[in-house]
Amino acid sequence: MVRHVIRKAAGWLLMIVVATNATYFLASWFLDPRSNYRDLRPVRSEDQIDRALAPYHLDPREPLVHRWWDWLTSVTLHFDWGRSPTGVSVNGEIGYRALVSAELVTLATVLSVVIGVALGVYTAARQYGWADRFSQAVSILVFNVPASVAALLVVFVAIWLNQHAGLRFLYVAGENSPGVEGLLPTIADRLLHLILPTASLTLMGYVGYHLTQRSLLLDTLGADFVRTARATGLTRAQAIRRHALRTALIPTAASVAFSVPAVFTGAVITESVFAWNGMGRYFVQTISKNDVHGTVATAAFAATLTAVGAILADIATVFLDPRVRVS
Amino acid sequence: MTLATPLLDPAPGKDGRPVLSVRDLHITFPSEAGPVQAVRGVGFDLLPGRTLCVVGESGSGKSATALGVMGLLPPSAEVRGQVLLDGQDLVGLDDRALSKIRGKSIGMVFQDPLSALTPIYSVGRLLADALRVHQDLTRRAAWEQAVQLLDLVGIPDPRGRATAFPHEFSGGMRQRVVIALAIANRPAVLVADEPTTALDVTVQAQILDVLRLAQQETGAGLVLITHDLGVVAGHADDVAVMYAGRFVEHAGVTELFRRPTMPYTARLLAAVPTVDGGVRRPLVPIGGEPPALVDLPAGCPFAPRCAVALDACRTAEPESHEVTGHGHVACLRAAEIADGSLDPKGDTPPAGPPAPADRTATATATGEVVLRVEDLVKTFPVTKGAVLKRRIGTLRAVGGVGFALRAGETLALVGESGSGKTTTLMEILRLARPEGGRVEICGTDVAALDSPAAVRRLRRDVQIVMQDPLGALDPRMPVSHSLAEPLRAIGRDRASIRARVRELLALVGLDDTIGDRFPAALSGGQRQRVGIARALATEPRLLALDEPLSALDVSVQAGVINLLTRLKRELGLAYLVVAHDLAVVRYVSDRIAVMYLGHIVETGDTEAIFADPRHPYTRALLSAIPIPDPGRERTRERVVLTGEPPNAARPPRGCVFVDRCPLYREAGEELRRRCRTEPPAQTPVAGDSGHRYACHGV
């Protein structure tokens, strides 16, 4: 089993390397750092611009392969992800943002899975009951609301709640309040800021799990082996828990890995709405500012998140499905 | 509606008290068309150690009865009546109370062993769990008992195999595990719902033996549900025939087979193809279809199909009453039938296939060779590894098969699953150069087809009829569109397509109005007729039929057999039939090729094979088919094959059958050596050059 997970993890590491390098070449071809300097006054010559870019390994006169090699060695040897066209260190920008975004994406994914699967199981066992019909209607409604609209709705609801509770505990902007000191107050402040963005991301994410888990479980509920389990003397609830649910969870576990990129994309919008300085916003900023190194670092971050999700999914699959351990 | 409950007087036994009594059981399911009355007043007593067989066609309510007894019906089903187990009425108990009884007092064996076991648990774990539901056992003790149970049902190396998962077992082995689950807590009643329908005949015989052994071990009363009258003849003490949700005849097994008294039973027996005896008797199909159980009209549900129905039969449903010396029969004319003064089959002429003499004439007629296959080989790579697939072996699905088929002739490829018969068929239909050997269709070598257009032209001459008629027809296309599709594909114009569709429907004996219906609205027999009509659309010369009858009920099967025979005669078609049921094959084919592990082990004229089977595998196959006659079925000597076909990736070096061959086991040293090392050649039988077999030992 350990071997199985290690083999999978090695595969994902390879995937991160390939994806990141591919992004480097794509970004270098399509983003032009020189344009950042063209609007500056006094007007600079092309030569001056290129010289200004040279220390950051962005000089277009240097062959791409050379620039790539410089970038690769600095990443692998010093874990230095390079600098933006204006000389800002990518590492400095990313360190804090990555933490904030990882927090958001992880929490939202976990919550989506837990809420979605729980709802799916609850409603599948009560197919066509009022709880099933109601929650399905809500889920389909939510499914059709664009992420930005949903985030704004969450903001409105939060403001209304704040006003009626007479207390400002739901923060609609930023990832922390200025001027908070001490470890515990800082953590509490950060968590409070996390509530609304997480809620809006979860709202976008849980629907898929609810609807797929419901239909997956409905398929297995009618399976012959559940009937066999009941024939040996289990009650319906026991048979569902021990035989149907475990089988029906396997495909969900596998799909979690591949939902991480979608959650990350959702985070881009959510972060903008809630004025968060996270990776999602940084991603948009780096592309619009022709920041090759920043874009690549963001891509590497997203790939890492996906890989972590996938490895967790693999571990969950092994846990759920003992057949994997044998083969 | 109150119906008298047909009950047998408890047979005088050492323990006369029934373990299970069902009284006036009614089961109704809601449906869009209205309530479906699946079971309408069923009652019986089951004595310990005895076997009650419930026979009937699909939709007759057999499975609903079984699930009703188990309390496993969906919650939407409405159940009335009594199911008395040890004096306790199970109807109306809640799930929790029933779960204390299920598995402990009643065990159940299900139809499809491939899906009946939870895939994510090892079989040992499944059995141990089943034991621990009702008994206070430690994990270790439960595991030990599980191993013993696996041993009891005949799993080789039970200790080692207990840790294996269901997908690592074959169908027959999985059914043994399901039986072990059912008897784990030594229940007083066993319910087996079509336990062998999904299995090969040779495996069926083994499983029925295991079931009998399990019954002996536990002393349980057995309710065996089946559609196979041969199985009934071999295993039942009492038989209940079900039709439209009721027991229409309920009698002891010898009485029932000696003189079937309900016309339905009599007609069913006449429609069953058999393998015994030297002469084939013609099959008499039962016209019409079983009724839908929604809003049943007044009167006997069988009356519209009955040859001896009176006017009174159509006004009120006859109640089940006792016929002296027989049992209970729900028929107004039971007394006349019982005393022999009325033939329940009526005087319907046997619209069966032409007499054997007639058939030999067509068989020997030297029609043009439509299909010639020489030394056909098809292999599949056996691979390992997730990302980089390494080839670790070769599975020889078809290893050098050859035959020729003439116009107006039917050749049947027969064998157990995995014998390569369907692969052979698909290789022929692929119309591409085979991996090895030659395929020649209507004089054209398929390897020589050089353009897609040439392939399409040849495709017109070769068509296929599938096993499952529902799966083979597009559910969203009305029948007429399904029939028009092949015609559009060959570029016929609209007017001629419309005319041809009508012609095709008439050809297969269907009404014009069927064309507007969707496949879901048709019965099984009608669907298969549509499947045949579609295959005939392009006027092919060769028709490949992949298990064309195995999805059909007995009463409908006979009609399709007769249709196929008529079409062959009228259109001069050649049929290549793939089937596992030798009894059915006897009625459709002129010649038979018996396949085992990718090789033809015996081939010859149908009647020659039945009268004088040479190869030990053919003999075993013939002997495994149960005969619907209790006297003969219980006394005849059977060749029971042990084990299952070996892995085709590692076939034996000499004769492929050597591992399971009964002759090999008794053979001398010299013969054994030849069997093991030297593949046997095809030897003709003296005096019949068409009959050849491949065996060293005969």
Helix, strand and coil in chain B, % to nearest 5: 35, 20, 40
Band (pLDDT 50/70/90 cuts) for residue B695 is: very high
| Distance between CA atoms of residues B434 and B398, nearest Å | 11
> What does the pLDDT look like over B316-355, one tens digit per residue?
888 888 888 888 999 988 888 888 888 887 765 444 444 4
Q: Do A230 and B102 count as a contact with CB atoms less than 8 A apart?
A: yes
Tell me the backbone φ, ψ of residue B191, rounded to 5 degrees: -115, 120
Q: Is B382 helix (H, G, I), strand (E, B) or coil?
A: strand
> Topology of domain B356-461+540-602, per CATH?
Rossmann fold (3.40.50)
CB atoms within 10 A of CB B437: 18
Cis check: omega of the bond before A42, within 30 degrees of 0? yes
Restricting to B residues 491-510, those with a Cβ less than 8 Å away from any Cβ of A are: none
> Mind telling me how many Å the CA of A212 is from chain B's nearest CA?
20
Cα B277–chain centre separation: 21
| Distance between CA atoms of residues A298 and A286, nearest Å | 9
Task: Kindly indicate whether the ipTM for this predicted assembly is greater than 0.85, answering yes or no.
Answer: no
Chain A CB contacts of B129 under 8 Å are: 232, 242
Contact A84, A295 (CB under 8 A): no
**pLDDT for B162 beyond 90:** yes
Chain B CB contacts of A321 under 8 Å are: 120
Averaged pLDDT, B679-686:
89
The residue type found at B477 is M
Q: Is B543 helix (H, G, I), strand (E, B) or coil?
A: strand
| Distance between CA atoms of residues B282 and B352, nearest Å | 5
Band (pLDDT 50/70/90 cuts) for residue B356 is: very low
CA dihedral B548, B550, B555, B561 (to 10 degrees): 30
Question: Is B161 part of the contact surface with chain A (CB cutoff 8 Å)?
Answer: no
Mention every residue, 6+ apart, whose C-beta is less than 8 A from residue B538: B459, B460, B461, B463, B486, B487, B490
Q: Which of A126, A227, A232 to mutate to test the interface with B (most CBs of B within 10 A)?
A: A232
Contact B285, B558 (CB under 8 A): yes
Domain boundaries, chain B: 48-76+94-258, 298-348, 356-461+540-602
Please report the pLDDT score of residue B638 as a whole number: 81
Same CATH topology for B48-76+94-258 and B356-461+540-602: the answer is yes
Q: Token pair for residue A84?
A: 């933006």
Averaged pLDDT, B668-693:
89
Domain boundaries, chain A: 2-326
Residues of chain A above pLDDT 90, percent? 23
Q: What is the enclosing helix (H) or strand (E) of B149?
A: helix B139-152
Contact B531, B509 (CB under 8 A): no
> What does the pLDDT look like over B535-566, one tens digit per residue?
999 999 999 999 888 878 887 888 888 899 89
| Distance between CA atoms of residues B409 and B403, nearest Å | 12
Residues in chain A, pLDDT under 50: none
Q: What is the DSSP letter of B102?
A: B
pTM as predicted: 0.82
Nearest CB partner across the interface for A227, out of B72, B103, B122? B72
Restricting to A residues 198-237, those with a Cβ less than 8 Å away from any Cβ of B are: 223-237
Please provide the DSSP assignment of A229-295 as one string.
HHHTT--HHHHIIIIIIHHHHHHHHHHHHHHHHHHHHHHHHHHHHTT--SHHHHHHHHHHTT-HHHH
Q: Token pair for residue A225?
A: 């082996």
More confident residue, B366 or B161: B161
CATH for B48-76+94-258 is 3.40.50.300
Contact B623, B696 (CB under 8 A): no
Partnered with residue B570 across adjacent β-strands are: none
Mention every residue, 6+ apart, whose C-beta is less than 8 A from residue B98: B71, B90
Burial of B106 (0-12, 13-18, 19+ CB in 10 A): buried
CATH for A2-326 is 1.10.3720.10
> Mind telling me how many Å the CA of B614 is from chain A's nearest CA?
41
Restricting to A residues 232-261, those with a Cβ less than 8 Å away from any Cβ of B are: 232-238, 242-243, 246-247, 250
Contact A203, A142 (CB under 8 A): yes
> What does the pLDDT look like over A257-282, one tens digit per residue?
778 877 877 788 888 888 888 888 88
Mention every residue, 6+ apart, whose C-beta is less than 8 A from residue B451: none
Tell me the backbone φ, ψ of residue B639, rounded to 5 degrees: -95, 105
Restricting to B residues 198-257, those with a Cβ less than 8 Å away from any Cβ of A are: none
- Write A77-84 long-range contacts (CB < 8 A, 24+): A81/A293, A81/A296, A81/A297, A81/A300, A82/A56, A82/A57, A82/A292, A82/A293, A82/A296, A82/A297, A83/A55, A83/A56, A83/A293, A84/A56, A84/A286, A84/A289, A84/A291, A84/A293, A84/A294
Strands (E) in B454-559, as ranges, are 462-465, 542-546
User: Could you give the C-alpha distances from A25 to A73, A205, A256, A285, A293, in angstroms and in order?
Assistant: 15, 32, 29, 19, 11
> What does the pLDDT look like over B241-277, one tens digit per residue?
999 999 999 999 999 998 899 999 998 888 888 776 5
Contact B271, B628 (CB under 8 A): no
Q: Do B96 and A235 count as a contact with CB atoms less than 8 A apart?
A: yes
Give the residue from chain A lying closest to B130, CA to CA: A232
